[in-house]
Every structure is written in structure tokens, then in C-alpha cells.
Amino acid sequence: MPRFPLAPWKSLLTAALLCLPAVVHAEPGDRAMRDALQAARQHRWQAIDPAAIDDHVLAGYVDYHRLKARLPAAEPGEVQAFLERHGDSPLAGWMRARAISAYGEAGRYRRLLAVADGEPSGTARQCHYYTALLDEAPQTAAEGGRRLWAVGRSQPDACDPLFATLRARGEIGSGAIWERQMLAWQDGETGLARYLGRMLGDDWNTGQAAMQRLQQDYAAITRVPTCIGPDCRGSGALFAAAMHGFTRADTEAALEAWRKVAPSLTIDNARREAIERDLAFYSLVRDIDQNRGWVDGVLPRLADSDLYELRTRVALADRDWAGVIDWIARLPEAERGEARWQYWLARAHEQRGDDATAQAAYRRAAGERDFYGFAAADRLGQPYALKMASTSIAATQRQAIAESPAVRRTEALLRIGEPGLAASEWYNAAANASPQEARAMADYAQRQGWHARLVQTTIAAKLWDALEWRFPEAYREHFLRWGEVTGVDPYLLMGIARRESAYNPEALSPAGARGLMQLMPATAAEVSRRLGLDDPGPYGVLEPAVNIRLGSTYIGEMLDRYRGNRLAATAAYNAGPHRVDRWLKQAPEAFDLFVESIPFRETRHYVQAVLTYRVIFASLAQGGATRGISLLTPAEQSMRYDGSLLARN
């Protein structure tokens, strides 16, 4: 049986088919420009006809490759002139970065400083930059070099001249070498740790012996010397690295050892607090009852909002409503005022019989447009606060943005088959646009059917209330069709896609998930097999219609697994069903406590976002009205969130 009413669908589908992206038509000179850009990438300068492209809006892209090919021989003045001509394009940033790298690798440091504009991005370029400053600004070079040195991993070869000079000048001494060795040990970079150890003299032998002992047995931390290195300067780094590993390996034993050794240990407050923050975090995450008293005693001194949040969640899991009120009160004022914490404050007061205070907190929460704001509105029986801003744009603004150089370059790059460069042009312009220009760009993207660019423009410009732009009618016909076929609410599908990929059909996650609904290739292959379809492969799954069909089928299977419950199904879509099965078996019974008890922050936020987005999409479909739309069904609000939710039980 379908899981949603079908009545509105035919009219929605008809409207959706009219919302296809605009077709980009070639213009005179595009073919010559495309050929010239390909030739420039291959350094085939004789194949380029300058007269055919000089007036083209993308001529700067060929100039970029021509100048880049001449580095580091090109004069800094030529680079600066290029930067000035193309300051409104990503070409300028790319050229500056290329010039810094090329001049740095060639040791032409005066040229590097002539084109640099402060510290560049990227470790290798930063090392070149500070090497160039060794004679010009030795103190700045030393400060930058020491910061680049103080990491627990190997740095690029570009850093070698900088580090060698700073060591020769005594700016990086044995203490800094020891500190880095401890960071390398902490990060598991044993080869780097051994290499650094060979740089140290006999006065660090006690430290080396202590490290080797602790590598075999963290519990020996109470028996190793507390004074490491000359004047005990190495003690903090050793104990910080050892406690880092010990806390993760055995938090209960680590705290017991720390309480023994801490009083007699002379280390700086920053390291002491970092060790105790680690101990408190893992004690709470692992729910170690024996550590709870110590944690509650140290939290006020640490005054860490993340730890206060975690402690509040532990109180919620324990149904310690007085504790919930107390720990929320310790959050910084700005965080305490968020809908999430006002909602939980209301729930706590409600459980303690203080209805007046609870109602006031619910009202504060209900003014926000998020999961807990909507949940609070449901408690009060009032409409959701969508807070929609107008997306109307004057005709003059539309004309101005259409004629702007960045938009013209974006259009031209799309015409010649360069979508990646087009995206770079667009996002660079959005990031540097005035609020008025950003709104005009969002309007332009919407009218062109550039869904992913539209969403990213609203993010870059922080247009949080422009809901029609933030949640566009992207691929609507596919969501409607496959939602109907699979019996899944199409607005839930839209919410998942919007959260997963922000409507980028070619999105690829670090884990390998692909496309609008971020399907892993193995999942796509398995779902295809169950549907009797061929495996789409890693590229076929990027096709929007295929991706949405398979994603709709998969979330439908998750809904079947959890008796139609969208909270559990959405969590499973993100974290996997086996994890959700385990969470349900240990879960509190109420829906809000279940959501807050999800141990993965990413999944916890994901579930809240998808259900919130679903409300927004459904509201936009009826002109922004929320009548008849609910965050959760009555069953989802009232059912027990425990092992009984599993359909196979």
C-alpha cells in the first residue's frame, strides 16, 4: 500500500515536467575557444589562432595557461598584471598559487614575495613563503616555520630548507624536536617519531626510555619519571601523548592513573585541560559510571560547551530531568537559546510538573525553523514558523546580473563543455558578491534550472530564509514518479537528496557514495539486482533518474524494515540498518529521546535535517502553507522506540 495520499500527484507531475533546465546554445567563437583551451592545456601554442579568441569572454583562460607555462621565468610584473586583469575570476587565485609554487621551487624568493599577498594556502606554498621571509622578516619566518614544524606528520619536501635554516639558527631547538616527536607518536607516525628521536642528544635519553616503556604499557604512566628533558621542559608533551593513547584504550584505568600522577606533575594548564577534556569526553561517550563523579566535578572548570552538551544528553538518557535543567543552564547563552535546548528545557520542566515554565520554553523553541522548533510547535498545537523571505528580484537587477562578467563566463564555460570551471566561476562570484548581487545570482540560477549552484549560492550568501531558493523544485518529476512507484512520500525523498548532495547529481563523498541520493556502488548494485536491473556501475548511478529510482527503492526497504517509521528508516539510510537495529534495542521509548540518543552526531543531525526538509518541501508545494503538514505522524510520535519497532520481530 502507498504510504502517502496520491490525490495531488497528477497535477504536480504535470507542473514538474515544465520545470526542466534551460538549454545552453552555442555562440559564435565558442568552437574556436574550446579548441584553443584544449591546445593551451597541452602547450600546443601554434594551434591557437589569437584573432579567433581575443574578443571571447574566456580569453583569459588561454592567457592563464600561457603565463603558467612560462613560470618561473615570467617576471613578477607580468603575474601582477594578470592578477589585476582577472581579479574577479578564480583565475587570479589560481595564478597566484601557481606563481608562488614555481618561484619557491626555483628558489626565486624575491619574485615570490612580489606576488604573494600574505600567507598563502597549502602547506608547501606556506613553507616556500616563510623560506622567502627568512632574510626579509626573520621573526615572522620563525613564527610561521615553528607552526608548520609542530605537527605529528611528515611535511612536504618544500619545508626542508625552512626547517633546516630554523634549526641552524636555533629557532627550532631540541625542545621543539621533542614536542614533534611526541605528536608523531600520538598520531601513530612511528617512522617520523624514530627519525626525530635520532636528532636529540643524550639529555633526552630519559624521555626516550619513558616513551618506549609507555608504548608497551600505558599503565606505566604512574611509574615513569615526571621530569623529562632539560629543566623538565619535555614533561608536558610526553604525558599529553601518553594520556591521549591511554584514554582511548582504557578510559577508566586512564582516569585512575591520571588522578594519581596529576598532583605531582608540572605541566602547563593548556595541556592539563586538554588531557582532562579527553578524559571527560570519553567517560561520557562510553557511559562509565565510575567516572561520573569526577566528570561532574571537572566540567565547570573546563567550561567546554561541547562537554556540557554531551553531559546534557547523558542526563536525558538517564531521565535525570533535574540534571537536564542544570546542565542546559551552564551552556553559553547563545547556545542555550537554540530551539533544541529550549525544547529539552521545556520537556524537563514538563516532567517535573512545572507546566507554565515548560509552555514558555516551548514557545521560544517553536519560533525556530528546525526539527525541535517544529516538535515544539506540535506540542503547542500551533503552525510551524517557516519564516519565508521574498525571492522577488527587480527586472533591472536581473538584467545587470545576466550581463555581469562572472555570469557571462559561467555561461560560456558551460557552452564549451567545461562544467567544473563553470562551477568555480560561479562559486567564486557568489562568495564575493554583495547581498543584493547574491540574491540576483540566486534568482538567475533558479531561472536557469541550475539547482546545485542555486543551493550553494544561498549558502555562500547566507540566504537562510529564502526557502524557495534553498529548496528548489529540482528533479521533481523523478521524485514524484519513483515516490509513486515505491510508495514513498516524495517529499521525504526530496529531503534526503537535498541533505545528501544539495542537488549535485555528480556528488562523490570521501567514502565513495555517489549522486543525488549518495548511493554506494555496492548498494546500487544490490538494489538493482533485486529489481531485476543491470548493475548501473559507478558512473551509471550518477544518472539522476537511476539514482532516484534506486534511492527511493532503498529507503522504501528501510521503511518496511521499521514498520513505516521514518525516523528509524532515515537513520538507517545514513548509518546502515544494522547500527539502527542495535540502537533500537538499547533506545529510550519516546521519539525525541530516540533521536537525541543516536550516538553518531552526523546521523543525529541528518535525521533531524531530513524530517525538517520534508516539512519545508511539502509546505512549498502548497504555497508555503503548513496546514495539514506534520513533522511526524501520530504513530511516529506515540510509538515505542525500542526493539519492537523491527518488523521482523
Q: How many CB atoms lie within 10 A of CB 88?
A: 15
Residues 577-597: pLDDT tens digits? Answer: 999 999 998 878 899 999 999
- Burial class, 363, CB count within 10 angstroms (exposed 0-12 / middle 13-18 / buried 19+): middle
From the list 175, 179, 181, the residue with the least C-alpha distance to 195 is 181
DSSP label at 508?
B
Q: In this structure, are residues 384 and 369 in contact, taking their beta carbons and an 8 Å threshold? A: yes
Amino acid (one-letter) located at 55: D
pLDDT, position 587: 76
Q: What is the pTM of this model?
A: 0.90
From the list 87, 165, 182, the residue with the least C-alpha distance to 432 is 87
pLDDT, position 5: 39
Q: What is the mean pLDDT of residues 474-496?
A: 96
From the list 386, 281, 316, 378, the residue with the least C-alpha distance to 623 is 386
The active-site residue, picked from 500, 506, 543, 596, is 500
From the list 144, 78, 143, the residue with the least C-alpha distance to 114 is 78
Residues 143-152: pLDDT tens digits? Answer: 999 999 999 9
**Confidence class of residue 451 from pLDDT cuts 50, 70 and 90?**
very high
Q: In this structure, are residues 389 and 463 in contact, taking their beta carbons and an 8 Å threshold? A: yes
Give the integer Cα–Cα distance in Å for 312 and 38: 58
Q: In this structure, are residues 33 and 53 in contact, taking their beta carbons and an 8 Å threshold? A: yes
| Cell numbers representing residue 205 in the block | 635519553
Q: List the beta bridge partners of residue 514.
A: 508, 519
C-alpha angle with apex 480: 474 to 482, nearest 5 degrees?
110
Residues 389-402: pLDDT tens digits? Answer: 999 999 999 999 99
Q: Does pLDDT of 269 surpass 80? A: yes
Q: Does pLDDT of 370 surpass 90? A: yes
Q: Does pLDDT of 1 surpass 80? A: no
pLDDT, position 405: 97
Q: In the annotation, is 500 catalytic?
A: yes
Amino acid (one-letter) located at 413: L
Mean pLDDT check: name the lowest of 514-518, 623-627, 644-648. Answer: 644-648
Q: In this structure, are residues 449 and 434 in contact, taking their beta carbons and an 8 Å threshold? A: no
**Confidence class of residue 101 from pLDDT cuts 50, 70 and 90?**
very high
pLDDT, position 19: 37
Q: What is the mean pLDDT of the chain?
A: 94
Q: In this structure, are residues 226 and 168 in contact, taking their beta carbons and an 8 Å threshold? A: no
Place of cell 586512564: 254
Q: In this structure, are residues 226 and 236 in contact, taking their beta carbons and an 8 Å threshold? A: no
More confident residue, 14 or 543: 543
pLDDT, position 28: 79
